[in-house]
């Protein structure tokens, strides 16, 4: 089997969700450091349009969105599964709430004036301006990507208090072992806790702080770094493993081989276009031939994505 290649950057919370899971699974993997803002030509050669972070590559199979990435990692490392079967609906709903609504709270908290003033990455006004412009483009056409700080603060306090109460009774949100909700929650809190200007906000939450240490202790796994062009070479020299799979679910009137585009429903509406390879209730896979990367299969979760026939 080809190795896991994680396309990510250090400061990305959703990347930390995946890195922490790879640490929990004691995985050895390869990493490509991608740019924080567009353009990302090497990544685009693989995804065909999807621009968010992280993306996982296994040979010529490309996985977009941390939700499907975590699922695939758990399948590859089934020991200590983070998806207990008897909680599929509960955890699926809760993790999605954290990755969307609570992430929005997190972003508003992270970009508040007291935090920005101390952020070394934004010390250069040119860098700060380029970043803000890039994120404006990412949000273009999106109805509700931002949140007022006053709203974020109350929701932050509410959820941190709930977490504190629950983590007073068990080591993890999952009980004695972490589940997907631990990793989804952790990446949001990691983003804020790693920001010195916001550290004090955690002081009243001693059980949350102990849990953050526990999660951080999993580490990020054993990492080998490669360049974007090297990752493309690996895709070029590997055959796609995804196969045509038609489980007979015909929600959108789609058929195998249709030309389609797949894109997120929340923000970052850059579509990936190609031939529909499979469409289950959980996953969409499209095949595309890239002028640089060659034949690749791009996988998306259903949750949070839409598919349009072209």
Ligand X SMILES: N[C@@H](CCC(=O)N[C@@H](CS)C(=O)NCC(=O)O)C(=O)O
Cα–Cα nearest to 162, from 181, 146, 187 = 181
3-state secondary structure of 164: helix
- Kindly state the smallest distance separating residue 43's Cβ from ligand X, in Å: 9
Q: Cβ of 248: how many Cβ atoms within 10 Å?
A: 5
- Examine residue 138 and tell whether it contacts ligand X (CB under 6 A): yes
- Among all chains, which residue has been given the structure tokens 């999993």? 218
Q: How many residues bind ligand X (CB under 6 A)?
A: 12
d(CA 285, CA 301): 9
- Kindly state the smallest distance separating residue 187's Cβ from ligand X, in Å: 8
- Kindly state the smallest distance separating residue 145's Cβ from ligand X, in Å: 10
- β-pairing, 61-64 with 28-33? unpaired
Q: 20: which 2 tokens?
A: 């922490």
- Examine residue 71 and tell whether it contacts ligand X (CB under 6 A): no
Nearer Cβ to ligand X, position 30 or 47? Answer: 47
Stretch touching ligand X by CB under 6 A, among 6-14, 142-150, 157-165, 283-291: 6-14
* Widest Cα–Cα separation across the chain: 55
- Examine residue 181 and tell whether it contacts ligand X (CB under 6 A): no
Q: Which residues pair with 64 in a beta bridge?
A: 55
- Kindly state the smallest distance separating residue 253's Cβ from ligand X, in Å: 26
3-state secondary structure of 24: helix
Nearer Cβ to ligand X, position 142 or 171? Answer: 142
Span 7-66, contacts to ligand X by CB under 6 A: 12-14, 51-53, 65-66
- Examine residue 67 and tell whether it contacts ligand X (CB under 6 A): yes
Nearer Cβ to ligand X, position 270 or 294? Answer: 270
Across the chain, the runs of DSSP E, i.e. the strands, are 4-8, 28-33, 55-58, 61-64, 222-225, 259-264, 272-279, 283-290, 294-301, 305-309
Please, how many CA atoms are within 13 Å of residue 34, restricted to the half-sphere of its CB? 26
Angle (CA) 59-60-63 rounded to 5° is 90
Ordered strands of the 283-290 beta sheet = 222-225, 28-33, 4-8, 55-58, 61-64, 294-301, 283-290, 272-279, 259-264, 305-309
Nearer Cβ to ligand X, position 40 or 159? Answer: 40
Nearer Cβ to ligand X, position 66 or 272? Answer: 66
Binding mask 91-130 for ligand X (x = CB under 6 A): --------x-------------------------------
- Examine residue 299 and tell whether it contacts ligand X (CB under 6 A): no
- Kindly state the smallest distance separating residue 169's Cβ from ligand X, in Å: 28
Binding mask 254-293 for ligand X (x = CB under 6 A): ----------------------------------------
- Kindly state the smallest distance separating residue 138's Cβ from ligand X, in Å: 5
- Among all chains, which residue has been given the structure tokens 């490509």? 32
Span 236-255, contacts to ligand X by CB under 6 A: none
**Footprint on this chain of ligand X (rule: CB under 6 A):** 12-14, 51-53, 65-67, 99, 138, 304
């Amino acid at each position: 089997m080809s190795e896991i290649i994680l396309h990510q950057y250090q400061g990305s919370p959703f990347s930390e969700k995946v890195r922490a899971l790879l640490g929990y699974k004691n995985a050895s993997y390869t990493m490509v450091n991608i740019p924080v803002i567009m353009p990302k030509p090497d990544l685009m050669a693989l995804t065909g349009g999807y621009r968010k972070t992280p993306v996982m590559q296994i040979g010529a199979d490309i996985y977009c969105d941390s939700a499907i990435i975590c699922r695939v990692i758990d399948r590859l490392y089934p020991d200590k599964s983070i998806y207990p079967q008897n909680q599929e609906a509960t955890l699926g709903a809760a993790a999605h709430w954290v990755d969307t609504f609570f992430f929005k709270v997190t972003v508003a908290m992270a970009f508040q004036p007291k935090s920005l003033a101390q952020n070394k990455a934004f010390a250069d006004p040119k860098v700060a301006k380029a970043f803000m412009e890039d994120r404006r483009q990412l949000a273009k056409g999106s109805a509700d990507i931002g949140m007022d700080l006053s709203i974020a603060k109350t929701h932050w306090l509410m959820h941190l208090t709930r977490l504190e109460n629950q983590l007073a009774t068990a080591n993890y949100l999952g009980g004695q072992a972490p589940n997907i909700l631990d990793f989804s929650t952790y990446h949001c809190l990691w983003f804020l806790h790693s920001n010195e200007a916001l550290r004090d906000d955690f002081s009243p939450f001693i059980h949350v702080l102990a849990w953050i240490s526990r999660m951080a202790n999993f580490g990020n796994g054993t990492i080998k770094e490669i360049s974007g062009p090297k990752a493309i070479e690996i895709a070029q020299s590997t055959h796609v493993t995804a196969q045509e799979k038609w489980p007979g679910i015909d929600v959108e009137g789609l058929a195998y081989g249709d030309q389609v585009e797949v894109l997120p429903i929340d923000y970052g509406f850059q579509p990936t276009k190609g031939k529909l390879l499979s469409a289950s209730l959980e996953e969409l896979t499209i095949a595309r031939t890239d002028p640089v990367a060659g034949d690749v299969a791009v996988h998306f979760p259903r949750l949070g994505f839409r598919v349009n026939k072209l």
